[in-house]
Structure 1
Amino acid sequence: MITPVPPSYADSARGRMSRLNITTQLAVIIPVGTLLVVLDSQVWWEALVLTLGLLTSILAVVLWARDDIQRFALPLLGTSTAVWTFGALVSGSTTAFYSITVVGPLIVPQLRRHRIPAAVGVVLFVAAAGASRLLVSQGSATSTAFHFVLVPTAVMVVTLGFMFANDAFYRVLEELDEAREHEAELAVARERIRFASELHDIQGHTLHVVKLKTALAEKLVRRDAGRAEEELREIHALVGDTIRQTKELAYAQRRLNLAGELENAKNLFEAAGIRVRIVRTAPTGERAGELLGQVLRETTTNILRHAQAGQVRITLSESGITIVNDGASGDDPPELRGLSTLRDRLAGFGGELTATQADGEFTTAAVVPSEVTR
């Protein structure tokens, strides 16, 4: 049986991913940011402002890795935009955009809606704040536009593109994880249906046979006490065997034996006064025997319960079984739920089960693919 991954495992994986994200990103952001602060600061208060931007970037990375950045989006964006505005209008720092190009791409791709307009807005802000330097700068307009407009805008666009791709990658991973969880849930559901079906096969078959043998023993108790006692012993053995099979099913150890099912079907039909003819054209493999044994058991139960048969023919080949009884009534075959379940089970192995009715005969035929017979 397949079971979903326990939540503690999933939480542990997310925790490891979070630590990996923090480590890899901070390993780049801290050294680069520190180097920019050292190289671009002329006075202590300028270094203080750039350091504030660096600390804001570090905090944003930590919160993003913990999937908690949206709660603090406004203060993070406010601080980083203030640092860039200060750098463009006051200090003339060409690297003050560093903080906004870290914080913005971490926040925008995680917005639930309007992500593209938000991305465009952030890019335009970076360009506009940088362009404002042209109003106060005494230097070359071309150099100012390059360092304060072109470079920061290009860095923001590239970083946003990378983070959008990164976000899409993580969304695909989440969808795959959800798909695996759904697949595990479906596997559990299929396993429960299979278990219920096999339990029905065991208990339903046994209870019907017990009913027949009990009725027979009741008729014989006054006429032939010895035969009645033998029937009761068989009932006792049958119930014990059913208990054993139920335990094996519960522990996934149950295996049907086709030869045993054939002998059991023959004895049951003869006890019910039905003539039986068995033809084997080739030996049947173990795995195919299990599947065909299930078909034989279910069909035997259906014949005893629903048909007024006088004769049953069972034909076995290497990859199939055909069971024909002459007790069909009406023109259309009855809807037999057990056979429908077996049809689905065989289809799962690539096999096929058919049930047809014609000229007073009901035919059940099952075929398994060649790879199952090996």
Structure 2
Amino acid sequence: MVSLLAAPGTANTGEVNSRALRITEATQGRLRRLNLYTALPPLMLAAVVVVAVDVRVWWHALVLAPGVIAAVVAFERWTANDIGRVALPCAVVAAVVWPVGALVVGSPNAYWGIATVASMAIPRLSRRRYEAAGALVVFVAAAGASRLLIDSGDGSTAGVGVFQLLSQGDVFVKFVLIPTGLTTLVIVLSFVGERFYDLVQELEVAREREAELAVTRERVRFAGDLHDIQGHTLHVVKLKAALACKLVHSDPARAEAELQEIHELVSDTIRQTKELAYGQRRLNLAAELENAKNLFEAAGIRVRVTRESEADPRVSEMLGQVLRETTTNILRHAQATRVRITLGAAGITIVNDGAASNGKLELHGLSALRQRIAGDGGELTVASASGEFTTAASFPRVGA
């Protein structure tokens, strides 16, 4: 029954973006597989014990086995997050086995099937979960109490009043008190476990939102740099153009000088804008490494940075831009849980998990960098294998 704590839950956290849901489903999928591998063997052992302890003739096994099978089937579907399809038939079968087992077989453990199935199904109900839990406890107690009527009417107990109650005390404990108590305990633990997985899902959503916030901050930084470059320039161009219009007839030489300054100013702005777009403007590789590390850690991704040697100054800015673009791609397009960054004198390699097992590789913002790196004698490669995505930039001539 302890395994009931390890079930994936369905939290009503409202609508979240589709990528957050994909990450949450991936995490829950890993938890489901872990539950199946670790909890199924103990569950099977408990099922065998339940049947073996109470079976005295061969047909007793035929009565008790359906409840055990229903519990195992429900557990397997529960770990696959698909218990909704089998909850009702499994619950009906297990519910029939308990009173039949108590009245016909005399099995005090026949309640095990209905307690197991219900403890997995009830917390997943969209409404009236607590009413259903109360009804389950009442049913288990009532079915067990029916055994008292058989024992009191079979003539095997003599006397009335206190002596009869004492003679039935053992039956009451085995068929009513223990099944009801354990069923109540299992239901409570199931609700606690469901809340635990609600929290896991909420943390996954928060992690995804933190990653989106990191990307937004990067966009705001870029927009600020772009405003610094172009805002003042465009204002000056406007004033100089207006002045040139006024001087074109009265002072043509001065107007020509103003137009020449406008041309030079626009050319310089174009150059700075290109540098910003290619990430070369005031780019520091050490700062980019620290920024990437902070962004990954804020998004809940484990990161390991290995510095084999210091990057050559001739390529450090380009390597920093590769790192920046790859960081953004990982935060936006991957479902990563760990990242490895290896920096050398003439190259950098970034490896992350969470890559799709199939599908077309997309370079996104790295496509422009690939052309620039190739023009500088370098090479940018991407590869996906075994769930890992590798981005590597190298400059062989610099290394040589």
CA distance in structure 1 between the aligned counterparts of 2:235 and 2:148, rounded to whole angstroms: 95
**Aligned residue in 2 for 1:141:** 168
Greater C-alpha Rg = 1
| Unmatched segments (≥5 aa) in structure 2 | 1-16, 157-166, 284-400
**Aligned residue in 1 for 2:207:** 180
Does the CA-based 8 Å contact 2:122-2:133 persist in structure 1?
yes
Q: Aligned with 2:86: secondary structure?
A: helix
Shift in Å, 1:4: 9.2
CA distance in structure 2 between the aligned counterparts of 1:4 and 1:188, rounded to whole angstroms: 17
Closer/same/farther in 2, CA of residues 253 and 113 from structure 1, 3 Å limit: farther
Does the CA-based 8 Å contact 2:24-2:205 persist in structure 1?
no
**Aligned residue in 1 for 2:160:** none
**Aligned residue in 1 for 2:118:** 104
**Aligned residue in 2 for 1:308:** none
Closer/same/farther in 2, CA of residues 159 and 203 from structure 1, 3 Å limit: same
- 1:38-53 alignment, distance < 5 Å: 38-53=52-67
Q: 1:163 aligns with which of 178, 190, 199?
A: 190
CA distance in structure 1 between the aligned counterparts of 2:188 and 2:216, rounded to whole angstroms: 42
Aligned pairs, number: 254
Identity of aligned residues (%): 50
2:86 is the alignment partner of 1:72: yes
Does the CA-based 8 Å contact 2:23-2:204 persist in structure 1?
no
Q: Aligned with 2:110: secondary structure?
A: coil
CA distance in structure 1 between the aligned counterparts of 2:21 and 2:198, rounded to whole angstroms: 19
Closer/same/farther in 2, CA of residues 165 and 12 from structure 1, 3 Å limit: same
Amino acid at match of 1:95: N
**Aligned residue in 2 for 1:250:** 277
Q: 2:267 aligns with which of 211, 215, 240?
A: 240
Shift in Å, 1:184: 3.8
Deviations 1:209-268 (A, max 9, x none): 112223344455567666555443432232222223333443455449xxxxxxxxxxxx
Shift in Å, 1:166: 0.3
CA distance in structure 1 between the aligned counterparts of 2:64 and 2:257, rounded to whole angstroms: 98
**Aligned residue in 1 for 2:328:** none
2:216 is the alignment partner of 1:202: no
Shift in Å, 1:13: 2.3
Closer/same/farther in 2, CA of residues 9 and 170 from structure 1, 3 Å limit: closer
2:85 is the alignment partner of 1:58: no
Amino acid at match of 2:89: P
Does the CA-based 8 Å contact 2:24-2:201 persist in structure 1?
no
Shift in Å, 1:30: 0.5
| Unmatched segments (≥5 aa) in structure 1 | 257-374
TM-score computed with the length of structure 1 as normaliser: 0.60
Q: Structure 1 residues 44-53 or 93-102, which shifts more?
A: 44-53
Amino acid at match of 2:142: A
Closer/same/farther in 2, CA of residues 78 and 189 from structure 1, 3 Å limit: same
Amino acid at match of 1:13: T
TM-score computed with the length of structure 2 as normaliser: 0.57
Shift in Å, 1:144: 0.9
**Aligned residue in 2 for 1:127:** 141
CA distance in structure 2 between the aligned counterparts of 1:226 and 1:141, rounded to whole angstroms: 119
Closer/same/farther in 2, CA of residues 96 and 245 from structure 1, 3 Å limit: same
Does the CA-based 8 Å contact 2:60-2:105 persist in structure 1?
yes
* Cα-Cα RMSD: 2.8
Shift in Å, 1:149: 0.8
2:106 is the alignment partner of 1:92: yes
